[in-house]
């Protein structure tokens, strides 16, 4: 199948035609009215060239890193602390997000060969992991805010039931937000590109309406609000740390800066492009989404955002001394972890202290 005629995956779903003339769809299962199709040959060639390689790379990095974190959690840590349970959920989110990437990578350079059922399932799994990843990052920021800024009251409220309830709410929101993807996604045969996995089976107007809703959902619920919460929580933590005698205060402050900066750098460009797509699919600007330039930017920004979903557990694990000690136990005879062998993993501080939160 020709790569330059291939569909972009997940966010750019409209079928591609090599002309820009009017095309009429008469099949009632798809678009029922006359619509203008955009020629995106160059941008799709660009996407087909970089996206598969990037998806395969992210899949390998994510599955390897998150599986190692999961192994260390289960082997050396007790899943009976607030911090560890949130890290566990974050790792599961990232693994869910990652397991479908090889399928989307293959789809970028070929047609969809995995059937209608897997089209719905993999799109749902992908977005469930994607949405829950953002929400768990936000929740972990709130949790650290409570543990550091309100340490005394947090010692009474940060119980296991608090984690269970928060996790249930986050997974429920993520799954509910994915339902439109499951309903709308399906396979259909295109005369040029072969079998496609995209929004289908409904009128053009209805699909465009749900795409706009999805864009608003992404920018507001899964970016703007989490960004405000993350900035507020870590700003308060920084102010609190300024007045503590914590021995690794400078390290904790640097880690906070890295976490917030990474979130802003990775997610802001992607959501700016998403917002432009909101304008591009609006009724007042029906053809603004046809530009190739925005597609180039979209591919790059989306890849950066997706990569952040896979590396964020490293900020909460491998940068901490506790997990480095676990790695030293696992690989203690060689490499940079040798100096950590024999170091006790116990801590005299509680799970509610600023020091423990950043261990």
Domains detected in the chain: 3-357 (1.20.1070.10)
pLDDT computed for residue 37 by the predictor: 44
Q: What is the pLDDT of residues 193-240, one digit of tens each?
A: 789 898 888 888 888 888 889 889 999 999 999 999 999 999 999 898
What's CA 332's distance to the chain center, in Å? 33
CA distance to 11, 124, 179, 213, 217, per residue, from 176 (Å)? 18, 10, 5, 14, 12
pLDDT computed for residue 104 by the predictor: 92
For the ranges 126-135, 235-244, 285-294, the one whose mean pLDDT is highest: 126-135
Predicted confidence (pLDDT) at residue 174 exceeds the cutoff of 90: yes
Burial class (CB in 10 A: 0-12, 13-18, 19+), 78: exposed
Show the CA angle centred on residue 140, arms to residues 135 and 144, nearest 5°.
150
Mapping DSSP to helix (H, G, I), strand (E, B) and coil, where does residue 112 land? coil
Structure tokens at 71: 């192994």
pLDDT over 90 for what percent of the chain? 30
pLDDT computed for residue 226 by the predictor: 94
Predicted confidence (pLDDT) at residue 278 exceeds the cutoff of 60: yes
């Amino acid at each position: 199948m020709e790569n330059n005629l291939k569909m972009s995956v997940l966010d750019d779903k409209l079928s591609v035609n090599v002309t820009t003339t009017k095309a009429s769809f008469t099949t009632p299962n798809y678009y029922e009215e006359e619509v203008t199709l955009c020629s995106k040959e160059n941008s799709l060639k660009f996407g087909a060239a970089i996206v598969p390689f990037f998806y395969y790379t992210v899949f390998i990095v994510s599955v390897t890193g998150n599986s190692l974190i999961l192994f260390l959690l289960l082997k050396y840590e007790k899943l009976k602390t607030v911090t560890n349970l949130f890290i566990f959920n974050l790792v599961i989110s990232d693994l869910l997000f990652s397991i479908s990437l090889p399928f989307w990578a293959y789809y970028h350079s070929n047609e969809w060969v995995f059937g209608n059922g897997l089209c719905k399932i993999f799109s749902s799994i992908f977005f469930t992991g994607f949405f829950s990843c953002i929400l768990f990052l936000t929740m972990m920021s709130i949790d650290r805010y409570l543990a550091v800024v309100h340490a005394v009251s947090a010692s009474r409220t940060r119980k296991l039931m608090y984690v269970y309830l928060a996790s249930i709410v986050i997974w429920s929101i993520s799954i509910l937000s994915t339902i439109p993807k499951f309903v709308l996604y399906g396979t259909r045969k295109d005369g040029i590109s072969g079998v496609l996995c995209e929004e289908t089976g409904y009128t053009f107007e209805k699909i465009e309406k749900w795409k706009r809703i999805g864009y608003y959902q992404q920018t507001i619920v899964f970016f703007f609000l989490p960004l405000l919460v993350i900035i507020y929580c870590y700003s308060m933590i920084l102010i609190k740390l300024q007045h503590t005698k914590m021995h690794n205060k400078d390290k904790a402050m640097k880690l906070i800066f890295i976490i917030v900066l990474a979130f802003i750098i990775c997610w802001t460009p992607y959501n700016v492009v998403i917002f432009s797509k909101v304008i591009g699919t609006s009724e007042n600007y029906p053809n603004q989404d046809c530009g190739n330039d925005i597609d180039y930017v979209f591919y790059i920004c989306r890849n950066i955002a997706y990569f952040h979903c896979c590396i964020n557990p490293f900020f909460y694990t491998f940068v901490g001394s506790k997990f480095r000690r676990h790695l030293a136990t696992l690989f203690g005879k060689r490499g940079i972890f040798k100096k950590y062998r024999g170091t006790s993993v116990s801590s005299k501080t509680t799970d509610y202290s600023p020091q423990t939160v950043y261990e």
